Amino acid sequence: MTDIYLDNNATTRVDPAVVDVMIPYFLEQYGNPSSIHKFADGVARGLKHARQQVQNLIGCEHDSEIIFTSCGTESNSTALLSAIKAQPNKKEIITTTVEHPAILSLCDYLEKDGYTIHRMPVDKAGRLNLESYKKLLSDEVAIVSVMWANNETGTIFPVAEMAELANTAGVMFHTDAVQAVGKIPMMLQDTKIDMLSLSGHKLHAPKGIGVLYLRRGTRYRPLLRGGHQERGRRAGTENSASIVGLGKACELALEFIEYENTKVKAMRDRLEQGITEQIPHCFVTGDMYNRLPNTTDIAFEYIEGESILMLLNKASIAASSGSACTSGSLEPSHVMRAMDIPYTAAHGTIRFSFSRYNTLSEVDEVLKVMPGIVATLRKLSPYWDSINNEPVSDPEQAFQPTYA
């Protein structure tokens, strides 16, 4: 069987066109862009062009608002640490219970250092309560950090509205948009978002390159100090080849935005429909009506997600049981726990995440093998014989939640 890759929220294949534009920066345009000789000129122009390509994708007002970093995690850490260093008298941070570990781990660390962390809960569909959020905003809050879209369920949060509320309250607003950039349209210049993080390897650029968007006028303190690179905001010789590659990837992502929201979404929906119609006692997690077009997270009751992944891998199909940064844990993901997914289902969640390189024929191959995999594992489950084999494809039907 041909390999089928459905783990694009973990990382993506580098687009061949991205590789093509990178190669000259290893072999020909290898100068340090900070130098003043001719070997630097072409590199500096390449970085300038890449900055504009990123600007076009996220819709910010100036290319000077783009700071190149090593990854999304560095961008996230820089945003939060900058906010608290620039406002030493503010000792509170607002975030959510379903953020990526890059945010939650840093907040845990800062909490031990004396900061008050407000972790907003989500409902059973992974949604936030904006009325509760408004009550948390105060003069004591240094920054709000809320992901644009959840990496496991794809649920999209109302970050533009939340940023507007934060701005009115005089509070900085940051969004981890690592999963959202390139999948949904953005126009940052029309929002009050102060800082945004993105990562190249989530949109067909190489690993090891990211961006921190910093809105003009936002108070800022660098995380890395040393040289004058990135206008003194991020020291260290620029990763020129990867920056140019990221620029090309952003150009392509903008070109394929409509494809993501039509063709890729259609593949996602076809897989969901096929699985929930063929397999009893499974359901889609998250907000079914407001999520990324490429992501579905399906909970299979009474079996373990890791066992499903092992059998999928034997069938040459790659998926995941949540965030790659939390894999290896025997506990359900923090996102499933925050959504109060029942224990019998939270252990059996599988995330399928698509890209423009996937095909409908691949979806059909997955649909051929999934029923057999689930049936095989349920035969080994001590809980399976005692339950009614009626399919449950609607999370609201399954849990009968009361939404806040």
Assign residue 199 the CATH number of its domain: 3.40.640.10
Is 72 found in the same domain as 218? yes
What would the pLDDT profile of 217-276 be if each residue is shown by its tens digit? Answer: 999 999 889 988 888 899 999 999 999 999 999 999 999 999 999 999 999 999 999 999
Is 140 found in the same domain as 26? yes
Question: What is the amino acid identity at position 314?
Answer: K
Is 359 found in the same domain as 342? yes
What would the pLDDT profile of 67-95 be if each residue is shown by its tens digit? Answer: 999 999 999 999 999 999 999 999 999 99
Is 212 found in the same domain as 305? no
Q: Residue 103 — very low, low, confident or very high, per pLDDT cuts 50/70/90?
A: very high
Among 257, 282, 308, where does a domain finish?
257
Is 219 found in the same domain as 291? no
Is 60 found in the same domain as 206? yes
Is 202 found in the same domain as 78? yes
Measured distance CA(4)–CA(68) in Å, rounded: 32
In a domain, 397, yes or no: no
> Per-residue pLDDT for 114 more than 70?
yes
In a domain, 398, yes or no: no
Joined tokens for residue 188: 């940052």
CATH classification of the domain holding 320: 3.90.1150.10
pLDDT number for residue 192: 98
Among 201, 235, 257, where does a domain finish?
257
Q: Residue 1 — very low, low, confident or very high, per pLDDT cuts 50/70/90?
A: low
CA 319 vs CA 15, 299, 373, 383: distances in Å: 20, 13, 14, 25
> Per-residue pLDDT for 340 more than 80?
yes
pLDDT number for residue 140: 97
> Per-residue pLDDT for 323 more than 50?
no
Stated as kind and residue range, the H or E segment containing 122 is none
Give the CA diameter of the chain.
76
Question: DSSP label at 71?
Answer: -
Is 321 found in the same domain as 196? no
Is 118 found in the same domain as 23? yes
What would the pLDDT profile of 162-215 be if each residue is shown by its tens digit? Answer: 999 999 999 999 999 999 999 999 999 999 999 999 999 999 999 999 999 999
Average pLDDT over residues 111-135: 97
pLDDT number for residue 36: 83
In a domain, 402, yes or no: no
In a domain, 404, yes or no: no
In a domain, 396, yes or no: no
Joined tokens for residue 48: 């300038």
- Catalytic site includes residue 325: yes
Question: Three-state DSSP class for 103?
Answer: helix
pLDDT number for residue 386: 65
In a domain, 28, yes or no: yes
Is 203 found in the same domain as 100? yes
> Per-residue pLDDT for 397 more than 90?
no
What would the pLDDT profile of 274-320 be if each residue is shown by its tens digit? Answer: 999 999 999 999 999 999 999 999 999 999 999 999 999 999 999 99
- Provide the residue range defining the domain that includes 243: 16-257
- Residues 299/283, Cβ–Cβ less than 8 Å: yes
φ, ψ dihedrals at 295, nearest 5°: -120, 135
pLDDT number for residue 284: 97
Q: Residue 384 — very low, low, confident or very high, per pLDDT cuts 50/70/90?
A: confident
Q: Which of 4-13, 27-36, 59-68, 294-303 is predicted with the least confidence, judged by mean pLDDT?
A: 27-36
Based on the structure, what is the number of domains in the chain? 2
Say what the alpha-carbon torsion angle 104, 77, 153, 171 is, to the nearest 10 degrees.
90
In a domain, 380, yes or no: yes
Say what the alpha-carbon torsion angle 109, 112, 115, 120 is, to the nearest 10 degrees.
70
The reported pTM is: 0.92
Residue 386 CB coordination number (10 Å): 8
In a domain, 233, yes or no: yes
One of 60, 250, 282, 325 is an active-site residue; which one?
Answer: 325
Is 238 found in the same domain as 377? no
Beta strand 141-145 pairing with 92-96: parallel
Is 289 found in the same domain as 194? no
Q: Residue 2 — very low, low, confident or very high, per pLDDT cuts 50/70/90?
A: confident
pLDDT number for residue 332: 86
Among 215, 242, 257, where does a domain finish?
257
Q: Residue 329 — very low, low, confident or very high, per pLDDT cuts 50/70/90?
A: low
